[in-house]
Structure formats: C-alpha cells, structure tokens
Amino acid sequence: MPLKPLISILALAALGACRQLPAPPQKAGYLLLEDYRFHQPCGQPVLSGNMPGGYYFAFVLTDSLQVADCVDSSNREPAVLRSGRDFLLILQGSRPCAFDLQGMELADSILNITLAADTVARGANIWKIDGEGVKLIRLMADPLHYAYVPGPQWDGIAPGLESLYRKERSAGD
C-alpha cells in the first residue's frame, strides 16, 4: 500500500479517537410523596391535555416558598427542597387516577420525563425529583404534546438550551 493513503487513514483514525463521545444518560432519582396534597389554584400548569385518565394538568415547583404555600401533608411535615437541586412535579387529573413517570433520563442537562396515566390505581401524584445537573426539563405526554420547563439549575444555562426553551415558549403563545 502506498504511504500517502496509509497516512490519510491513520490521520482519520486519530481524529476519530480524539472526538469526545457524549456521556450516557443518567437516571434521575425521585421520591413519591404520599399523604401530600396540592392546593389549587396555586401556580401555573406547564403542560395539560388528555390522557386515558381524562384531562390532566402538570405543575413544576422549584421554589421552596411556593412549595410551602401550595403543598401540605396530613402528617404536618413540609416538603423540603434542597435549593437549586430538587423540584416537585405535580400531576392533577380531572378524574381520580394515578400517574406514572417513565424514562426519567438526564442527558446534556435536559431531564426527559414521560407521563403515563393509570386509570385503575389511586395514588399520590406528587414527586420530589433530584434535579442535580438539571437545567431544562422536558415533560412529554406523547410525541406531539410536550413542554420545556426551566429546571432547578437554570442559571448559567447554555445558549443552545435557552434558545430551545425560548423557541418552545414563543410557539405556544
């Protein structure tokens, strides 16, 4: 084999080896908050629509003061958030039903959460989610119904993520 094509192949292989691969998605930790109630009207829903359980509203609370005003427990223990790390996801259905969170993966500072309704179960609809590293939250009921919401670490967000969020907000208005 001539030397020139061999050098080209080696150079391409070296460049390919230097390319940084994206980090694999991480699973987000969460805690189901049973015995907690959400008081309405409190906050603005970030996503709403129809699911098998009926019409639903999704709320994301990142501020401890808002959580103290909007959520309480029958055992009188407040839902405590670690500032800049945790957030509450609250799902309210038009009929009694429970919701399930699927595919909670964090990739490139975006936490993807897929919502699913369970019309048979009756359970809590409030989750405390570990938002370490979460700059943007993508809530999705199905591929056509989703919303981008600022996460607990929204400050200092990369320009690409901010433009994605702004584009989504302006399309919804």
How confident is the model over 38-75, as pLDDT tens digits?
Answer: 887 787 899 998 877 678 889 999 888 888 888 888 87
> In this structure, are residues 169 and 161 in contact, taking their beta carbons and an 8 Å threshold?
no
Query: CA 116: distance to chain centroid?
Result: 14
Q: Which region among 11-25, 38-52, 97-111, 127-141 has the lowest average model confidence (pLDDT)?
A: 11-25
Around 8, how many Cα atoms within 13 Å sit in the side-chain half-sphere?
5
Give the model's pLDDT for residue 50.
85
pLDDT above 70 as % of the chain: 73
Instruction: Please provide the size of the chain in residues.
Output: 173
143-157: pLDDT as tens digits = 888 899 888 877 766
pLDDT over threshold 70, residue 125: yes
What is the CB neighbour count within 10 angstroms for residue 163?
11
Q: CA-CA distance, 170 to 102, in Å (whole number)?
A: 27
pTM of the complete model = 0.75
Q: State the pairing for strand pair 98-107/126-130.
A: unpaired
**∠ CA(72), CA(146), CA(148), 5° rounding?**
70
Whole-number pLDDT of residue 77: 75
The residues with which 123 forms a beta bridge, in sequence order, are none
* pLDDT band, very low/low/confident/very high, at 1 (cuts 50, 70, 90): low
pLDDT band at 6 (very low <50, low <70, confident <90, very high): low
Q: Check residue 59 and give its pLDDT.
A: 92
> How far, in Å, CA of 24 to CA of 30, rounded?
19
From residue 47, how far is each of 6, 50, 117, 147 by CA, in Å?
56, 10, 14, 6
